[in-house]
Amino acid sequence: TETGLQPETLPADPAPLAPERDLMSKFDPLIAERQALLDSGVTDPFAIVMDEVRSPTEAVIKGRETILLGTYNYMGMTFDPDVIAAGHAALDQFGSGTNGSRMLNGTFRDHMEVEQALRDFYGVSGAIVFSTGYMANLGMISTLAGKGEYVILDADSHASIYDGCKQGYAEVVRFRHNDVNDLDKRLGRLPKEAGKLVVLEGVYSMLGDVAPLREMVAVAKKHGAMVLSDEAHSMGFYGPNGRGVYEDQGLERDVDFVVGTFSKSVGTVGGFCVSNHPKFEAIRLACRPYIFTASLPPSVVATAAASIRKLMTAEKKRAQLWENARKLHGGLTAMGFRLGTAQCESAIVAVILEDQEQAAAMWQALLDGGLYVNMARPPATPAGTFLLRCSLCAEHTPAQIDRVLGMFEAAGRAVGVLA
Ligand code: PMP
């Protein structure tokens, strides 16, 4: 052209503005589903408020005294006087929070003390505390298994294990729930020289079933894989020292990493990983969910340390918890309820219902009668099941379990679950 400008170098018109897309519209099906549930007249099972909590087993919900049978307070430590005193003392001495990462200003005396309590409890050389159990799985899995390596996980793994896989760069391979042969087959297809991490859980939290860890760990070792076991739902009452299912099955020398939480048997909040690996401390240098978040408040780690030390000698509580679980499992089985496991395998007793409608009606009838249990549904549950999940506490009394059984029978008949 005369000016020497090439058409493609001329300034283009600004791109037309696209109409704004409402990113929230993807939640419309969820909103509609919840509304349909509420329209059927039930209380929202996912919006319960504890107005008062009177003990590990009793709360006031909607003005009514309610037995708690759906918390992870397995060992009933939340109101232990020594645990509460430790929290008060730390709050007074160190203030309400740390204002920083463990890597910088956020390591206080009691973070060191709780890690020592964990080393003593598990009889290991290494312990690292995270801000939640969710973050412990997120951090450990994404940091241990890197690019070109493999994470092999049970299909029914907890969301935090799945999310740990997503956060990292390893290839992810799933095997059928608790299926030793499937694990073997899938490991056999992977390159021999590649690093592999098999992630297992001692107790699976939806149905309360226990993993055949001995067989699975043997298969993992045969293929040269390291093993991480999440023992969130077994701490305090499984194995001679309450370390978990892996201890119960004699695998202390074979499981490389154990993940756990303070939010269940310990009775506060926080997560951890313990290990005897000589280089374990290096995790602190590389693990993003450990580094890029604030550490737990001093009162929380102090209560956790006191609780963990008491769990080391909690034989009576352990025995009571198992007695309670067996009593509930046996009673519900005798009434004709369909349960997640044929025998009592853990402190979780899952009642399987037909569908959402039946589960919601039953859940509501129990709540109206003064009993709180967990409503669980897909995608949290396996095989699209609707569950009323009961979790027992060492502090439930035999009389409370009798009342619970009575309430289940009445609700089961009212809703038509029992003939
Ligand atoms: N692992 C398993 C198996 C769990 O069930 C949970 C919590 N329900 C977690 C990890 C996460 O623990 P936290 O509540 O400490 O985040």
pLDDT digits (tens, 9 = 90+) for 203-231: 999 999 999 999 999 999 999 999 999 99
pLDDT for the residue 138:
98
> What is the spatial distance between Cα 78 and Cα 152, in angstroms, rounded to a whole number?
35
**What CATH number does the domain located at 81-311 have?**
3.40.640.10
Q: Tell me the CA end-to-end span of the chain in Å, nearest whole number.
A: 91
> What is the spatial distance between Cα 397 and Cα 230, in angstroms, rounded to a whole number?
29
Compute and round to an integer the Cα radius of gyration of the chain.
24
Ligand 1 atom showing the smallest separation from residue 137 Cα = 10
- pLDDT band at residue 1, thresholds of 50, 70 and 90? very low
Tell how far the Cα of 414 is from the centroid of ligand 1, in angstroms. 34
Ligand 1 atom showing the smallest separation from residue 269 Cα = 15
The predicted complex's ipTM stands at: 0.99
Residue position matching structure tokens 């590990």: 56
Q: Write out residues with Cβ below 6 Å of ligand 1.
A: 132-134, 137, 158, 160, 201, 205, 230, 232, 261, 263, 271
Amino acid making up residue 341? T
Residues with Cβ within 8 Å of residue 121, at least 6 apart in sequence: 241, 242, 243, 308, 309, 311, 312
Interval 136-162 mean pLDDT: 97
Ligand 1 atom showing the smallest separation from residue 270 Cα = 15
- The helix/strand/coil state of 182 is helix
What is the arrangement of strands in the sheet containing 371-372, beginning at the earlier edge strand? 52-55, 58-61, 64-68, 371-372
Which has the minimum average pLDDT: 7-16, 58-67, 388-397, 404-413?
7-16
For the chain, the domains span 41-75+315-415, 81-311
> What is the spatial distance between Cα 371 and Cα 71, in angstroms, rounded to a whole number?
12
Contact 170, 146 (CB under 8 A): yes
- pLDDT band at residue 130, thresholds of 50, 70 and 90? very high
pLDDT for the residue 46:
83
Query: Which residue(s) pair with 126 in the sheet?
Result: 275
Contact 237, 249 (CB under 8 A): no
Ligand 1 atom showing the smallest separation from residue 201 Cα = 3
Annotation: CATH topology of 41-75+315-415: Aspartate Aminotransferase, domain 1 (3.90.1150)
> 208 — phi, psi (to 5°)?
75, 25
> What is the spatial distance between Cα 330 and Cα 326, in angstroms, rounded to a whole number?
6
Which of 132, 134, 209 to mutate to test ligand 1, by most ligand atoms within 8 A of the CB atom?
Answer: 134
> Which one of the listed residues 157, 205, 265, 275 is annotated catalytic?
205
- pLDDT band at residue 384, thresholds of 50, 70 and 90? confident
CB contact burial 75-97 (16+ within 10 A = b; e otherwise): bbbbebeebeebbebbbeebeee
Which residue owns the Cα nearest ligand 1 atom 15? 133
Residue position matching structure tokens 């009452």: 237
147 annotated active-site: no
Which of 210, 261, 346 to mutate to test ligand 1, by most ligand atoms within 8 A of the CB atom?
Answer: 261
41-75+315-415 and 81-311 agree in CATH topology: no
Which has the minimum average pLDDT: 4-18, 31-45, 68-82?
4-18
Interval 313-321 mean pLDDT: 98
CA torsion, ordered 248, 253, 254, 260, to nearest 10 deg: 60
> Which one of the listed residues 196, 233, 310, 329 is annotated catalytic?
233
> What is the spatial distance between Cα 50 and Cα 72, in angstroms, rounded to a whole number?
15
pLDDT digits (tens, 9 = 90+) for 75-98: 999 999 999 999 999 999 999 999
Residues with Cβ within 8 Å of residue 203, at least 6 apart in sequence: 209, 210, 211, 231, 232, 233, 234, 238, 245, 345, 346, 348
